[in-house]
Chains A and B, each alone.
Chain A
Amino acid sequence: MLNSLRMSMGWVHTWMGLVLGFVLMICFFFGALSVFDREIDRWAIPDTRFEPQPMPSFDKVLKPVFEQLQPDPVDMAATERRVVGSLPDPETLKLESLFAYNTHRDPVLLIGGEFAIPNEPIDPADDHQHVHGRATVNPATGELLNDDALKIGSDWFYPMHFSLNLNWMMLGYWIVGLAALVMLAGLVSGVIIHRKIFREFFTFRPWKNLFRSSLDLHNMTGVVALPFHFFFAFTALVIFASNIYLPVTHTTLKPLHEHHEMLEAARTGLPHEPSGVAAPLASVDAMVAEAKRRWAERDMAGDVGFLTINHLGDENAYVSIYRAGSDRVALVGEGIHFDASTGEVIREEPPRSVVSSIDEFLTGLHLQHFEHWMLRWLYVFGGLLGAICIATGFVLFVEKRKARHARNGSQGSRIVDALAVTTVTGMVLAAVGMLVANRLLPADLAGKGQWEQTAFWSVWGLAFLHAALRSSPVAKARHNPAWREQSLLVGLMSLSAVGLNWVTTGDHLIKTVFTDTYWAVAGVDLSLIVTALVAFYAAAKLRAPVAAQQKEQAVSRNKQVNAYD
């Protein structure tokens, strides 16, 4: 296409980058926020502002909590549609498996389980015959916390960056997957277009015209963070490969997969099915102690990150204990499996193979279970560099074409500019607006999480309307004042979020930094203040071109007036 390699790569870079760039902005920005998703949760749910804790005693704390666990009503309703007849009373359903998961950053513990149901499935191939339940627990006291409160960090911003919170037909995942592929294609094609990569490594000339200085920034942020951009887009695809993007082993190769599962169950001794004979549960704490002893023996002493029990209450029940990978780039792993009724070790997973280690490193570097605050901030920075790279790409697109479009009477630049405003400042407004809504809405409001989501989408929608309505100067090759107006609003909203946090919870920065240090909340507040400063700075900078434009307009109007004389 287009005669030469560089020209065809230029086409891919420009057009695919433009279309999927709007998605990539969301991935990079909300991805950067996800680095601190648990901390944002603390900010948004003040009841959980206490210190992170290790996995508590199962026998003393968690066992009684699991007895209170109830099937999720939403999942009850969804399951009811897939089975013959109606489901029994949720109170009578029996828990058949359970899990507990925590990270080194979690003050709260996420637990859940699967409840067995007696009904036959409508579709005989449907082997997913159970109802899920989940709860959030204070591990210090074993008290069940209100799970209704939306975890804005880990249940909204985090899924936003890989699914756009667009769950219908998994549509969001697929759009993001395509965007990740296009990101990789954009990086490779960008390198091909620009042969002088290293010469431009340190080059940023803000005093040049807008096109030239944006191009500098576009190249520089793309190149200095090239490894970050490449590996995050690439690992995003790898993480979801086997379950979403390339599920060959669940479709085309399903027979081979099932055959392997059977062989594996026989080899590992972990029972695939319950026996039907009831048996009691031995001390899980003793099993945890044994698992920790074995990890220490392998010179990788650590804490429990993930604990599961399968076939609960049955003779074939087994407990699996996984190590938290917080001291290296790893996921939960090094699983040790115990017979639940005798407490004996059934199987200790062997060390990982080379392929599996590479995979663990690649997925682990993206999922960041590690405990390393500096690396977390470096990641935030990398994500923001990605966002700058894409945003400057939009500016380049518009600056290159708007004069021509103005002459031809085309609306192309105007549309791109309005969408760029929406996905740059508009997106920040939506995120900050959600935090403001979180502090303004009363904590005991029914369906508060729903309202917060409505606030998020409404702010974003309004930002789009505003950007579109104000964008008419772009069609005349001028600047869109919406950039500046939304920047000002970002600044004001960010500061009011900090103020509202102080007023509604009493946690002001002097307290959270100095007198009663709590970095999760202080970090969010400080980040909001930095956001405000950057936004005000940008608004001040953006004043100049708009002011010049107004002057120019005034001059041309005078000329017109004179012409009529």
Chain B
Amino acid sequence: MISQAALQTTNRVIAAILGGYAFTWGFSVLGIATMVALGIDFHEAETAISLVAFLVFLGLFLWTFAANSMIRVWLVLAGGAGVMMSVGLMLQNSLLS
């Protein structure tokens, strides 16, 4: 029998690592695509994002453990990842067409 507390902790850890990673991924996709759309060199954009991405990840990681509501955490992490990923992909398509 797994205790309620253990389940909650597992939820936090998964959210912090995987949820945070998904958000960071979406952030990077959107960030690079936006910068390229704004006329910034591709590799320049890639480098700039790589310098910021892990600080974003770190912030999300810690916030997940400090936050009160896990529903809000998952909404922000998964929702944010999905939205940014889609917008980034749409931007890429319009840049290439």
Contact = CB atoms under 8 A, between A and B. Distances in A.
Nearest to B36: A256
Contact of A248 (B28, B44, B62): B28
A253 B92 contact: yes
B74 interface: no
A124 B41 CA distance: 29
Contact of A8 (B17, B49, B65, B89): B65
Contact of B53 (A246, A253, A359): A246
Interface string B35-49: 010000111101111
B62 A358 contact: no
Given A249-B46, A252-B88, A12 B62 contact: yes
A467 interface: no
A234 B50 CA distance: 11
A181 B58 contact: yes
B6 interface: no
Chain A interface category by residue count = 20 to 34
B54 to A, nearest CB: 4
A9 interface: yes
Contacts of A184: 54, 58
A355 interface: yes
Contacts of A238: 50-51, 54
A241 B27 CA distance: 14
B23 to A, nearest CB: 12
Contact of A253 (B12, B32, B51, B58): B32
A1 interface: yes
Contact of B65 (A12, A245, A246, A252): A12
Given A238-B54, A353-B44, A253 B33 contact: yes
A249 B48 CA distance: 13
Contact of A234 (B54, B61, B92, B96): B54
Contacts of B41: 353
B95 interface: yes
Interface in B50-94: 50-51, 53-55, 57-58, 61-62, 65-67, 85, 88-89, 92
Contacts of B47: 355-356, 359
A355 B45 CA distance: 9
A1 B50 contact: no
Given A253-B92, A353-B44, A181 B61 contact: yes
B44 A355 contact: yes
B14 to A, nearest CB: 13
A256 B50 contact: no
Interface in A1-35: 1, 5, 8-9, 11-12
Interface of A: 1, 5, 8-9, 11-12, 178, 181, 184-185, 188-189, 234, 237-238, 241-242, 245-246, 248-249, 252-253, 255-257, 259-260, 353, 355-356, 358-359, 362
20 contacts: A1-B9, A12-B62, A185-B61, A238-B50, A246-B50, A249-B42, A252-B89, A255-B92, A255-B96, A256-B32, A256-B33, A256-B92, A256-B95, A257-B42, A260-B42, A260-B43, A355-B48, A358-B51, A359-B51, A362-B51
Interface of B: 8-9, 12, 17, 24-25, 28-29, 32-33, 36, 41-44, 46-51, 53-55, 57-58, 61-62, 65-67, 85, 88-89, 92, 95-96
Closest 5 CB pairs of A and B: A241-B50, A260-B42, A237-B54, A248-B28, A359-B47
Given A1-B9, A253-B33, A259-B96, 4 more contacts: A241-B50, A252-B25, A253-B29, A256-B33
